[in-house]
Chain A
Amino acid sequence: MLKIGQLRATCCDGWTRREWLRAGGLSLLGVSLADLLRGEGAKAAQRTPPARSVILLWLWGGPSHLDTFDLKPKAPSEYRGPYAPIATRAPGVEICELLPQLAERAPRYALLRSLQHTSNDHGVAGTIGLTGSNTGAASLSGQVLPGDVKPAHGAIVSRVLGFDPVTPRFVTMGGNLHQGKRRITGEGGGTAGGLHDPFRLDYDVEHGVKIPQLDLIEGQSRERLTSQRELQIAMNRLADQIQNSPNVERFDQFYRQALALLTTSQARQVYDLEQEPEVLRQRYGRFRFGQCCLLARRLIEAGVRFVQVNWSSHVESVEDTGDGGWDMHDRYFQVFQDRHSWMLDQALSALLDDLHDRGLLDETIVVAVGEFGRTPKINGKAGRDHWNDCYAGLVAGGGIQGGRVIGSSDRRGEYPASQPISPADLFATVFHQMGITTTTLTGAGLTPQGAVIEELL
């Protein structure tokens, strides 16, 4: 749009009458309309936000920053942990030896080494990490902090772009997040409304892609919904359930999306990982997180704008009867070394490569972070406890400058030594790259939070 002062009244095609007049006047000076349009096109191109989509790899349970992206080899052994740092392809940047594939890809991502916030409770920290705020957060003890739960980052994207009844704006891969048996808050629409809750998908090695939303249709499975007649019966059943539901509007939206995912062959193909070459599936890793990362790429390609991949639904490790989260108060190194490290290394590296090879990395921001880090001092159980005062994360793509480290921690990784960064700052930067400004947010009835991390851009 051409700007003359603050006039923004537009014609139906987006130009004001005055702008048309100005264009006509310029033509008298030898500047053709085509020239003008080219100039405006160039300006528009400059203004186009670099990022279109986001993939958030949510490392639930809290990875240790000292064993992933911020090693302290000179610290005493009760701090440094059993792993050595290795050089990466980014000069001067070192990460853990258990992440060798990521080391090769360092020019594509930036590391944040001074993340911090105010809570070491999974529930509260999870809400802070996913919404940028602790309002409405529920702690392990059940205490609920004052204020309304703000929308999750993905819900903000959905709210700003508007609900799409066919293609979900916001997809979360994995079940509801828990600490212990308590669900956390902040995974969905919050104050933006349930309409912007994530559409959920999941994957398991034995059954492939799962669509929990289809559980709305009692007694049905995706495999059975193959004929028109079965589909009709299922949808009629769903309609009956919706009629009897107290959340009619929300169910109706899910109904529409479920219907679209079932009846549109193109949509059904999106979550059909069998269409991917076996070699690529192996590159991501034949384990849940790896295949979820691959599905995230497919969803982004199909137009989903924010995909959140939950590493697990529970914070606890399998040995602790969880589902494999990062919350290893004991045996941290055993689990990290045997499974978590190389799963993260392989899947995230494959995702970065795949997005890059398809030309999608320039327009897709990839964030890998947990709700906090872990205690720099190793506890008596060969584990590390919760640590919110300083932790690390990774961000790539969408115009983020790779090969650099933003912020630093002190010599034991206990506190930021420079440039403390909050989760709200991180996502203010993500939104900035997507063209979602404070004006956009307030215009959508949302509260802007955090400050853009200029060093990432």
Chain B
Amino acid sequence: MPHLRTLETPWRWRMWLASSLGFVLLGQWTGAEDSTPRLVRLTRDGHFKQRPVWSPDGTRLAFTRHRGTDMFVYLCDAQGAQERRLTDRKEPEFDAVWSPDGTRLALALDKTSPNQGDIEVYTISVQGSDLQPVATGDGKLSHEEWPAWSTDGQWIVFTSTRDDNQEIYRARPDGSERTRLTSDPALDAHPCWSPDGQRIAFATDRWGDLEIALLEIETGKLQRLTHSPGLDDYPVWSPDGGWIAFASLRDRNFEIYITSPEADQPANITNHAGWDNFPTWSPTGEITFVSNRDGSFDLYTIEVGKNTIGK
């Protein structure tokens, strides 16, 4: 069975899908051992969580946990242990993402509360010190959030309402060279970089409900990636650039799907009656996500590329 990273083109994808189905059928016919993909539960506290993100070396995980009215960023090791808060701040902080060198994180902060929407993007060291602004409202009541760091470390993309509609912007990590990337009356949300830094994937409702779109940074060329009757959101690009995972409500239940950037038919990789959301790729090509499949909300990692398609 080929590893996911080798599935870089649509024809290879289709060949692999066909062979996978063949293996499944053959397995059923011969009574071969269960082919269920490996699923690992990382946390067990049950509190609601959002946006887990792996460090570039795969040794640590950052995620946001809701606990009562608290909303803070936590770091843990690859097994879900050795957990600690990123900061000791009292105000809400969320959606932290790693810098490519693993020394800093970009995150959204409720800097001055109560404020009705004045959320800003900062970077902070992994030790929780040296808070530096990336995108602030410049005195205007706006929200800047959902940062994502380019793999060369030169840019941070984020959303902002500073121009009276939620659009996507990029800026240098020190906040300079801020540029608006989208301009549409619709809602544009949750951008992420392609590994080569040439494109971003994001969610938009410009075609009706939320769909995934790809935008070429230099040309501004826009490509619609999904065409589903249900919501598609939270796209994340695989480390090798061959795949995009996202959350979808197309089956009337939140599931994690993957598709190629060439818009192949997306495949459901979670297939569970529970609520599965906020996918993120590990450096080794697995997907970590938030799920309530065991009753409360925890982080899980699922193997991808081994009998996870077509189930």
Residues of A within 8 A of B (CB): 73, 76-78, 81-84, 86, 97-98, 100, 103, 180, 204-206, 278, 281-282, 285-287, 316, 318-324, 329-331, 333-334, 337-339, 342, 378, 380-383
Contacts and interface: CB of A to CB of B under 8 A. Distances in A.
Interface in B18-62: 46-48, 50
Interface stretch (B107-115, B128-136, B299-307): B107-115
A83 B231 contact: yes
A321 B70 CA distance: 8
Give the 4 A-B CB pairs with smallest separation, nearest first: A330-B117, A380-B164, A82-B205, A84-B209
Nearest to A85: B209
Given A321-B113, A381-B141, A98 B249 contact: yes
A318 B72 CA distance: 11
B209 A83 contact: yes
B206 A77 contact: yes
Given A83-B205, A382-B143, 15 more contacts: A77-B187, A82-B186, A84-B209, A86-B252, A206-B67, A278-B295, A318-B70, A318-B71, A320-B116, A321-B69, A329-B116, A330-B116, A333-B187, A338-B50, A381-B142
A277 B103 CA distance: 46
Interface string B117-142: 10100000000000000000000011
B182 interface: no
A323 B230 contact: no
Contacts of A81: 205
Interface residues of B, number: 51
A73 B205 CA distance: 11
Contacts of B209: 82-84, 97
Contacts of A281: 295
B208 A73 contact: yes
Nearest to B117: A330
B114 A316 contact: yes
Contacts of A339: 48, 66
B210 A82 contact: yes
A323 B141 contact: no
Interface in B117-174: 117, 119, 141-143, 145, 161, 164-166
A33 to B, nearest CB: 58
20 contacts: A81-B205, A86-B252, A100-B249, A319-B94, A320-B113, A321-B92, A321-B114, A322-B69, A323-B68, A329-B117, A331-B145, A333-B187, A338-B277, A339-B66, A380-B161, A380-B164, A381-B117, A381-B166, A382-B161, A382-B187
Max count, chain A CB within 10 A of own CB: residue among B145, B189, B208, B209? B209
Contacts of A97: 209, 230-231, 249, 252
A286 B71 CA distance: 17
Contacts of B231: 82-84, 97-98, 337
Contacts of B143: 330-331, 381-382
Contacts of A316: 114, 116
Contact of B185 (A77, A205, A321, A337): A77
Contacts of A342: 254, 275
A319 B161 contact: no
A382 B186 CA distance: 10
Contacts of B116: 316, 320, 329-330
Nearest to B71: A318
Interface of B: 46-48, 50, 66-71, 91-92, 94, 110, 113-117, 119, 141-143, 145, 161, 164-166, 185-187, 189, 205-206, 208-210, 229-231, 233, 249, 252-254, 275, 277, 292, 295-297
A319 B114 contact: no
A337 B233 contact: yes
Contacts of B275: 342
Contacts of B292: 285-286
B252 A77 contact: no
Contacts of B252: 86, 97, 100, 103
B276 to A, nearest CB: 12
Max count, chain B CB within 10 A of own CB: residue among A76, A82, A287, A330? A82
A81 B94 CA distance: 24
A77 B209 CA distance: 10
Contacts of A333: 187, 189
Nearest to A321: B113
Contacts of A77: 185-187, 205-206
A338 B297 CA distance: 13
A206 B115 contact: no
A75 B46 CA distance: 39
B117 A318 contact: no
Contacts of A83: 205, 209-210, 231
Contact of A100 (B50, B233, B253): B253
A278 B295 CA distance: 9
A206 B68 contact: yes
Contacts of A324: 69
A282 B292 CA distance: 9
B226 to A, nearest CB: 13
A100 B119 CA distance: 31
Contacts of B208: 73, 84
Contacts of A86: 230, 252
Contacts of A205: 46-47, 68
Contacts of A318: 66, 69-71, 92
Contacts of B210: 82-83
A342 B166 CA distance: 23
Contacts of A76: 185
Nearest to B274: A282
B189 A334 contact: yes
Contacts of B71: 318-319
A339 B297 CA distance: 12
A286 B231 CA distance: 24
Nearest to B161: A381
Nearest to B69: A323
A104 B143 CA distance: 36
Contacts of A319: 71, 92, 94, 110, 119
Nearest to A330: B117
B277 to A, nearest CB: 8
A320 B50 contact: no
A321 to B, nearest CB: 4
Contacts of A337: 231, 233
